Amino acid sequence: MNNKGQALLIVVVFMGAIMLGISVISGFLFTQRLRTSVDITKSTRAIYAADAGIEAQLYDIFRGGYNGPNPGYESQSSEPINRSNIPGGAEFESNREYSESVGGFILSSTGSYEDSRSKVSRQLRIDLRIFGAE
């Protein structure tokens, strides 16, 4: 009779260990999925911020109306445009420079989103060819 009680105790302990292992693995997988979904949200905010930086550079180039290349156009590179007051907490830094190999501007923008735990940055680049600049 004593052996039956010991066998039952071993089975109960073994089943408890299996259930604990399954719980730990499930918790780990859930945490990873939750972290991934949070990173996707941060990444989306950073991408939209970088896009806003490209749009700011395009606006800066074309706001006065573009009449084609003119002498000295190459010097129209800009100081970086920085914005940190974007709704949602994202920010960007964008730059442009004239490139003869492109025949126009190289626009680049880095968008970032930062919270107390991590920072996500995404960068976009556009080669803007100015027709007639050859």
The per-residue pLDDT for range 41-69, each reduced to its tens digit, is: 889 999 999 999 898 888 887 775 544 44
Q: How far is residue 18's CA from residue 69's CA, in Å, rounded to a whole number?
A: 73
Q: What confidence tier does 103 reach under pLDDT thresholds 50, 70, 90?
A: confident
Task: Tell me how many degrees the CA angle 40-113-31 measures, rounded to the nearest 5.
Answer: 40
| Single-letter amino acid, residue 30 | F
User: Which tens digits make up the pLDDT trace of 17-44?
Assistant: 999 999 999 999 998 888 777 788 889 9
The model's pTM is 0.64
Task: Tell me how many degrees the CA angle 105-108-111 measures, rounded to the nearest 5.
Answer: 155
pLDDT score at 70? 46
Q: How far is residue 21's CA from residue 34's CA, in Å, rounded to a whole number?
A: 20
Q: How far is residue 42's CA from residue 82's CA, in Å, rounded to a whole number?
A: 19
Q: How far is residue 102's CA from residue 124's CA, in Å, rounded to a whole number?
A: 16
Q: How far is residue 118's CA from residue 40's CA, in Å, rounded to a whole number?
A: 13
Mean pLDDT of the chain: 81
Would the pLDDT of 72 be above 70?
no
Dihedral pair phi/psi, residue 84, rounded to 5°: -125, 5
- Residue 18 structure tokens: 């299996």
